[in-house]
Amino acid sequence: MKRLSFLIVSLLVCTGIFSQNFAVIDDTYQNVKQAKARYYSQQTYLVKDNQVMAANQIATALDGKTITNLHLFVSTEPGSIVFSNMTINADNLKENAFILLQMASYVSENIIIHSPNVFTTELGIDFKTKLEQLTGLNFSVQ
């Protein structure tokens, strides 16, 4: 029985159904090579600059997975998350709410943005508050 349980857990981890961390790296992120190297052994998705908006690419990559912490390696400005083909900020949260909620539905605890300036200034603090209210998740920077 223990062997069967171990095999089931191993299968879930290998298939991504049971996962703790997931890294999303935008291809315009300034330290993309270091981020890829750091998260190579974990589940990682590289956002590409193509016709499919970044948030849709991420939601598709997360589909069916259970994630504790979602790590986003993206460029930012105070109050804005800047992907290669879209920007998310307080001004366009309503139009991006559906896809953000879909992304958030796969995450149980935190979305960690690897850029220290996104939640700086009043604009950034307001943006963080709105993201947390919309998704019900904790947003932090690293």
pLDDT digits (tens, 9 = 90+) for 59-90: 998 998 889 999 999 989 999 999 989 999 99
Domain harbouring 130, CATH code: 3.40.50
pLDDT band at residue 133, thresholds of 50, 70 and 90?
very high
Residue 31 lies in a domain: yes
C-alpha 113/C-alpha 71 separation (Å) is 6
Residue 89 lies in a domain: yes
| Counted domains in the chain | 1
pLDDT greater at residue 57 or residue 43: 57
H-helix or E-strand spanning residue 60:
helix 54-62
Residue 53 lies in a domain: yes
Residue 82 lies in a domain: yes
pTM of the model: 0.80
Residue 56 lies in a domain: yes
Residue 94 lies in a domain: yes
Q: Using a pLDDT cut of 70, give the percent of the chain over it.
A: 84
In terms of residue numbers, what domain contains 24?
18-141
Residue 87 lies in a domain: yes
Dump pLDDT digits (tens) for 13-28.
443 444 488 888 887 7
Q: Which residues lie closer than 8 Å to 48 by C-beta, 6 or more apart?
A: 27, 57, 84
Residue 11 lies in a domain: no
Structure token digits, residue 119: 């939640």
